[in-house]
Amino acid sequence: MWLFLLNAYIITFLAWPLNQFNKMKNIQSATIPPGWVGGFEESNPAFAYPDPNLSSLPMLDNMANIGLLQRQQAVRWPEFSWQTIPGNENSRCFQMFAPDISRLGYTDTGRVYSIICPQQGACSPTFGCLNVEVTVTGQRGWANETDQEMAADMTVEGKIWFSPSSLENWKTILLWNLFNSLNLPFPSDKTHAIRVTTHCPGLPDQPIFFVRKGETTLFKSPAFAQHYDTAWAIGNLSVEIGPILSTGNSIADEFNTLVMEIFNFAKGNILQAGNILTWNLWFQPPTLVNQEEWRNHAEKWRQSIDADHGSPDGNGTEPRYFNGEPFNPFGGDGEKHLQAEEDKVNAFIKKYVSKDALRKAKLPRNAFLLMDK
């Protein structure tokens, strides 16, 4: 009896991925729009799986070839995952970033010319809300609608900046005024964002990393982070987080380091140097590209006009552990950490903001009490 049950379990376990794949095949059959030609993947034998080599292609500026785009796949479900305690797999969290932002754009033959990546955010009692975006700085690759496959190489930067609502926080206003008076860059928008470097995992001198078909095999994803019944295709990528880029000014660098510490606490070390950030790309079926709409879409998110880390169609999900338990940075010793965080911000203000500047600013009374501690 036990052998029968074991065999039944094995058969069910092995059949599950195939069943999910068949669901995706059914979605595929009725949704490919007319005009697909294909062939770019086959133009070089090195492009083929199981180990696509795209090094013969130049890394292209992400916005330089929008006029060549003809087709696209939207990443409706950008499912991110990372260890909230680097090195501790039990601390792994899963979160879907804001939908209706990310896209893969390519020609009728399948050459990729543009990739739009997602945004998300985090809120801290100290500063308010911050935006984070994975900004594509270079890309190359191919898509094959017939086989529901794709392969791409990318370079990206993480960018962190204050959401508009956080700019109503008196401490943020005070520091922004300080930076303006010193002619220093303040991360009040994406143009002046804190820039976080990334590289291929384990290879700090290799900024190019790989986007490949299927779910990541680095770990198992929970059911709530899978979309086999509605997705058209799947890809995955992993990047290792590097240090933040220097602004060339010690005061600005000190402040940016402090902001990153606060951000990483609120987001479970998602952009902590040395941590590996992985995401599964659950694509919607292909559609035809309206190049003007693509430019407008990309520009809107480049400027982050629709601010406070939202999106036109929902704000994604909150980070959760594999068992579905929400990640809560403010539990346990969180209150002590928050106090230490606030103390560091206060110390920065006292270090660089004069009492005379405080007297001239229209600030709440607790701002003056801060200076007397």
Residue 55: Cβ within 10 Å count:
11
For 311-331, letters b (16+ CB in 10 Å) and e give beeebbbebbebeeeebebee
Residue 128, helix vs strand vs coil: strand
Q: Dihedral angle at the C-alpha atoms of 105, 108, 112, 118, nearest 10 degrees?
A: 10
Per-residue confidence of the chain (373 residues) as pLDDT tens digits? 444 334 443 434 344 444 454 555 555 555 789 999 999 999 999 999 999 999 999 999 988 898 999 999 999 999 999 999 999 999 999 999 878 778 999 999 999 999 987 766 677 777 778 888 778 889 999 999 999 999 999 999 988 888 877 777 778 888 888 888 889 999 988 888 999 999 999 999 999 999 999 999 999 999 999 999 999 999 999 999 999 999 999 999 999 999 999 889 888 999 999 999 999 999 999 999 998 887 777 666 555 543 454 444 456 788 999 999 999 887 777 678 888 888 898 899 888 877 666 666 555 555 555 555 5
Residue type, 119: Q
Residue type, 274: G
Tell me what pLDDT residue 139 has: 96
Sheet strands (E) in 215-286: 233-244, 276-283
For 115-133, letters b (16+ CB in 10 Å) and e give bbbbbbbbbbebbbbbbbb
Total residue count of the chain as it appears in this document: 373
Q: Domain map of the chain by residue range?
A: 31-372
Tell me what pLDDT residue 298 has: 63
Tell me what pLDDT residue 158 has: 87
Instruction: Please answer whether residues 138 and 155 qualify as being in contact, where contact means their C-beta atoms are separated by less than 8 angstroms.
Output: yes
Q: Which residue has the tokens 């995706």?
A: 24
Sheet strands (E) in the chain: 71-83, 92-96, 103-106, 112-116, 119-124, 128-144, 149-162, 194-199, 209-213, 233-244, 276-283, 287-288, 320-321
In terms of Cβ atoms closer than 10 Å to its own Cβ (0-12, 13-18, 19+), residue 292 is exposed
Alpha carbon distance 140, 148 (integer Å): 18
Residue 30: Cβ within 10 Å count:
7
pTM of the model: 0.83
Alpha carbon distance 274, 288 (integer Å): 39
Instruction: Please answer whether residues 177 and 361 qualify as being in contact, where contact means their C-beta atoms are separated by less than 8 angstroms.
Output: yes
Tokens representing residue 269 in the block:
């070390």
User: What's the start-to-end Cα distance of the chain, in Å?
Assistant: 74
Q: Residue 33 carries which DSSP code?
A: P
Task: Select from 159, 154, 157 the least CA-distant residue to 208.
Answer: 154
Tokens representing residue 287 in the block:
């559609």
